[in-house]
């Protein structure tokens, strides 16, 4: 007979295993996966045993990512897909189901933005930003919906950035509007699809040390101390941590939430008189 302590230890081990539960055998679509957050999420899911289908507007950009995943022992398929094109999105979903039999997780990561003051935004620029960030999420989620509902899946929207989507950012009014809409879509769709056992959540990062950020700000991931709490820029791996958690059973009671990942919070300070 096991002692109380031994039983407690076993329960603890089971709980630890549950918290780290694998995505083994599931299938995930990751859009905008040629670099940055999408690439890191795709590699993380593959390491955890998931089949991953990755897409970008240029085939060459995702081929190399898929090759790296395969060389590491994972399973990946690279697809050229513009998320603003409904036929292309439906082909992406069809390829996924034909190759792996299901869609269990959809990561809506594809996005674009331009720094432009509102008065200078052309109609074409406004439409482009809204089309990729909002309509792209609509296309992918609706196209994958039938398959996500079959086995009880998970949709994870990447609402870059928390500052733009929740507080607004000068020069990014179109981007802020699109991402705020994605956050509201997350809440609404989570309610509508809960009865189909599909969980819809959103991750809203602030600045993340991706190659694009490094090119623009000259700040690289190598300069970040992950153990330092007092910082305001994240590593892509930290966003992947949350995506992995939201896709797995350990987050089963998290539905319709937007998780802000923005480092040290921006607080409201008393005004100076």
- The catalytic residues are 175
Number of H helices, E strands in the chain: 10, 9
Rounded CA gap, 254 and 251, in Å?
Answer: 5
Name the region of 23 (left: φ>0; alpha: ψ -120 to 50; beta: rest).
Answer: alpha
Phi and psi torsions of 71, nearest 5°: -65, -25
Checking 185-193 for CB contacts under 8 A at 24+ apart, the result is 185/134, 185/137, 185/138, 185/157, 186/155, 186/157, 186/159, 186/256, 186/257, 186/258, 187/256, 187/258, 189/141, 189/155, 190/255, 190/256, 190/257, 191/256, 193/145, 193/148, 193/149, 193/155
DSSP letters along 186-233, please? HHHHHHHHGGGT-EEEEEEE-EE--HHHHHHH---GGG--TT-SS-SE
Which tokens sit at 42? Answer: 């795709």
Rounded CA gap, 243 and 45, in Å?
Answer: 9
Element (H, E) at 31: strand 27-31
The owner of tokens 């507007």 is: 57
């Amino acid at each position: 007979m096991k002692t109380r302590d031994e039983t407690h230890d076993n329960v603890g081990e089971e709980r630890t295993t549950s918290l780290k539960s694998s995505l083994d055998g599931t299938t995930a679509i990751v859009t905008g996966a040629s670099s940055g957050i999408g690439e890191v999420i795709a590699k993380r899911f593959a390491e955890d045993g998931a089949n991953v289908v990755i897409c970008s507007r240029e085939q060459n950009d995702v081929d190399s990512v898929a090759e790296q995943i395969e060389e590491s022992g994972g399973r990946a398929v690279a697809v050229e897909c513009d998320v603003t094109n409904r036929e292309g999105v439906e082909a992406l979903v069809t390829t996924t189901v034909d190759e792996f039999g299901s869609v269990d997780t959809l990561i809506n990561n594809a996005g674009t933005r331009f720094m432009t003051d509102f008065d200078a935004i052309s109609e074409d620029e406004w439409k482009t930003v809204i089309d990729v960030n909002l309509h792209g999420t609509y296309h992918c989620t609706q196209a994958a919906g039938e398959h996500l509902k079959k086995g009880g899946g998970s949709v994870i929207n990447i609402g870059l950035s928390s500052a733009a989507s929740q507080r607004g950012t000068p020069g990014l009014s179109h981007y802020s509007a699109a991402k705020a809409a994605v956050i509201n879509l997350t809440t609404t769709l989570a309610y509508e699809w809960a009865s189909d056992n599909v969980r819809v959540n959103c991750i809203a990062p602030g600045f993340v040390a991706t190659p694009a950020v490094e090119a623009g700000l000259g700040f690289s991931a190598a300069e970040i101390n992950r153990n330092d709490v007092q910082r305001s820029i994240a590593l892509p791996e930290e966003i992947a941590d949350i995506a992995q958690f939201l896709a797995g059973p350990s987050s089963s009671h998290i539905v319709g939430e937007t998780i802000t990942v923005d480092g040290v919070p921006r607080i409201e300070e008393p005004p100076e008189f």
